[in-house]
A = this chain, B = another copy of it.
Amino acid sequence: MSLLEDKTPSRTPLSKLGEFGLIQHISKNFELKNDTSSFGIGDDCAVIDVGQHFQLITTDMLIEGVHFDLTYTPLKHLGYKSVVVNLSDIYAMNGLPKQITVSIALSNRFPLEAVEELYEGIRLACVAYNVDLVGGDTTSSTSGLCLSITAIGEIAKDKIVYRSGAKEHDLIVVSGDLGSAYLGLQLLNREKQVFESNPQMQPDLQDKDYILQRQLKPEARKDIIDLFESKGIVPSSMIDISDGLSSELLHLCSSSRVGCVIYEEKLPIDFMAISTAEEFNISAATCALNGGEDYELLFTISQTHYDAIKDDPDLTIIGHITDKSHGSVLVTKDENHQPLTAQGWNALS
């Protein structure tokens, strides 16, 4: 029911475009006119030229029931994670985060003590990553909790790393390990179902600390950015892994107009993730390729840096960049060459 005449009788469902399609569709009507707007939509951050350096801006919105489930997410962890996922985008351009703003909408089912827990998590992340909370907005919501965080960082002009700089023969590298956050989520959802059918049951989460932490309290890879600095490495391209390795690597290849080959056997997967995947009867490699929320860094470097990184336990070379004509290829353990496909988590699906 509306006071307004319906002038748009045609109705195209958003699911037809998906999140990235929608962003592309909308952003084509916008052009950058201010000369301080160096880079707009299409990378981990927007880039503003503030004179001596570049400033990086990124923003994320987190909705209860879509991005988090308060049944098993402690508010303090939620606050911490909400900050970390934004900082990860700053690091993904080789920058250092400096400030955040936090906006929250919440219904009156949340008492002050809940808000304090949430902000305590935000504060802990600010301390851990040396960023300042400088502003935000606080309002009521009609139903759930909604969080919107903007992070602001900076980077020297000659050290900024975009998604678009990967070159043929560059090595493809990921930090840490993949798939654990997704498996942590599966565990939590399983325990939620058990709990809902029998609230007397104790959650069976023994020995699962690592993968639960990967889901509930991820960290952003500031240490990798420090490593680049100390070794004098500037990656040719970089992106953070929030939607799954496949999806992010395809973004990177598309922006760089290149192809890639990666090897299933090289994928870094934690032993606890492997055993949990077995429990759930799913492929650990699939979790690593398509599970979201790892917040690791995916980057490419020139082969000349091979010696500098080859022995680093936090870095794994998983393949190399090829000419665009070769497409994006996954070589499976049984030597099958498959086209890499993005089955990453789609926020609009």
Interface residues of A (CB under 8 A from B): 1-4, 8, 10-17, 19, 22-23, 25-27, 29-34, 36-37, 39-41, 45-46, 48, 50-53, 55, 57-61, 63-67, 70-72, 74, 98-99, 101, 103-106, 108, 110-117, 119-120, 123, 126, 130-144, 146, 148, 150, 152, 154, 188, 191-192, 195-196, 199, 203, 347-348
Contact = CB atoms under 8 A, between A and B. Distances in A.
A16 to B, nearest CB: 7
Copies of the chain in the assembly: 2
A13 B195 CA distance: 28
B140 A63 contact: yes
Nearest to A29: B123
29 contacts: A2-B72, A4-B72, A8-B111, A8-B114, A11-B111, A12-B112, A12-B113, A23-B138, A26-B116, A29-B123, A36-B98, A41-B136, A46-B99, A46-B101, A48-B98, A48-B99, A50-B51, A51-B53, A57-B99, A60-B103, A63-B141, A63-B142, A63-B146, A66-B139, A66-B142, A67-B139, A143-B144, A146-B146, A148-B148
Q: Which 8 A-B pairs have the closest CB atoms?
A: A148-B148, A46-B134, A11-B111, A50-B50, A12-B112, A46-B135, A8-B113, A61-B103
Nearest to A196: B1
Nearest to A9: B113
A41 B108 contact: no
Contacts of A66: 105, 139-142
A57 B101 contact: yes
A133 B2 contact: no
A134 B2 contact: no
A71 B113 CA distance: 35
A332 to B, nearest CB: 33
B112 A25 contact: yes
Nearest to A31: B132
